[in-house]
């Protein structure tokens, strides 16, 4: 199925030769001389890389129909992650490369939105922040209260983040899923 570049909207998915892309931004340009064109900013679904692409006005581009399914992460099996569709309880095995960095933020029982294209999971949409427990970190030294000082902490998923000195093992912390940074104690 194709769509005209004149009808592009933010968030639309396109199946281009470069890969599966989503429209982040677009602008119709009508110069004084020459034909009109559409300047777009596209984000690769799999890699997250953003590229700029210019199309002629009314050029046909292949539209990708992406089905977004809310699924619950159950457990890890070898190199794949097992999710259950919350609507029909169907289980789905997803290879870790298809999830990208999201594996650092997923713990058993969490719910995430998985975009599915042509029967294959092409990424994962996480909430802006997740709460994870600190598995291991060195203890804060009494009297060591340097303002803004940080130490490394390994979270339950294996992700290592910089946390303030007062955070200890077993505590729950909130982490930003976009930047991987510590936000607050939960």
Domain ranges, ordered by start, for the chain: 2-62, 67-121, 129-185
Q: 2-62, which class in CATH?
A: mainly beta
> Token pair for residue 183?
């936000």
Q: 67-121, which class in CATH?
A: mainly beta
| pLDDT tens digits, 110-167 | 888 888 888 788 778 888 888 888 888 887 665 556 666 788 888 888 888 888 888 8
Q: Render the burial of 21-42: b for 16+ CB within 10 Å, e for the rest.
A: bbbeebeeeeeeeeeebbebeb
| pLDDT tens digits, 43-60 | 887 777 889 999 988 889
Residue of 112, 96, 106, 110 whose CA lies nearest to 155: 106
CATH topology agreement for domains 67-121 and 129-185:
yes
Q: 129-185, which class in CATH?
A: mainly beta
Residue of 76, 35, 77, 81 whose CA lies nearest to 55: 35
């Amino acid at each position: 199925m194709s769509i005209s570049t004149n009808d592009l909207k933010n968030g639309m998915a396109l199946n281009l030769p470069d890969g599966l892309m989503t429209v982040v931004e677009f602008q119709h340009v009508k110069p004084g001389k020459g034909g009109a064109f559409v300047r777009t900013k596209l984000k690769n679904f799999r890699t997250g890389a953003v590229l700029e692409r210019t199309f002629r006005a009314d050029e046909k581009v292949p539209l990708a129909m992406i089905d977004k399914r809310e699924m619950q992460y159950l457990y890890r099996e070898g190199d794949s992650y097992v999710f259950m569709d919350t609507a029909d309880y169907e289980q789905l095995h997803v290879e870790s490369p298809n999830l990208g960095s999201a594996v650092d933020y997923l713990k058993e029982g969490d719910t995430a939105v998985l975009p599915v294209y042509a029967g294959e999971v092409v990424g994962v949409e996480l909430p802006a922040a997740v709460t994870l427990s600190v598995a291991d970190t060195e203890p804060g030294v009494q009297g060591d209260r340097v303002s803004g000082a940080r130490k490394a902490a390994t979270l339950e998923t294996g992700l290592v983040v910089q946390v303030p000195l007062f955070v200890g093992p077993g505590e729950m912390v909130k982490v930003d899923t976009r930047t991987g940074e510590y936000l607050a104690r939960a």
